[in-house]
Amino acid sequence: MKTQLVADAETLEISALNFSNGKRHDFRIFKESGLRITEKITVNADNGYLGIHKIHKNSLLPKKKSKKNPLSGKDKRNNKKLSRQRVFTEHVIGKIKIFKILSDRYRNRRRRFELRFKLIAGIYNFELKSRGNDF
């Protein structure tokens, strides 16, 4: 099972979820989800979403290096800046992994995975609001 999680960088709240078979590519899940993001919002995604510029113009992706084209100093600094912005989303994913639904193999009924994950996301959002941003 594969889960796509959309989190707000300011509030750290999980705002959207999408689920798919584990073999499906991240960007394909995004395209099939029908999630529409306004042009005002900046999408900071990882390299699994190459091609998102065609759908959403205001998106940031780290630059990849290759054997023939190593990254310049400017590209490295830009990637570091993007990763500093994206780390908050990674923290949200880490908090969800505490519940072991993502970090371990899911051995229960597949049709219940979506329901259970949504419940965990709801618990996370509830705890986040009740404690402030200290969670």
Which position has the higher pLDDT, 77 or 53? 77
pLDDT at 135: 56
**17-40, pLDDT tens digit by residue?**
888 877 888 888 888 888 888 888
Instruction: Give this prediction's pTM.
Output: 0.74
pLDDT at 78: 92
Q: How many CB atoms lie within 10 A of CB 103?
A: 11
The span from the CA of 34 to the CA of 110, in Å, is: 22
The span from the CA of 134 to the CA of 38, in Å, is: 29
Beta strands 59-60 and 2-7, pairing class: unpaired
Per-residue pLDDT, averaged over 87-96, amounts to 87
Give Cα 124 distance to the centre of its chain: 15
- Neighbouring C-alpha atoms within 13 Å toward the C-beta of 40: 0
**37-67, pLDDT tens digit by residue?**
888 888 888 888 888 888 888 888 888 888 8
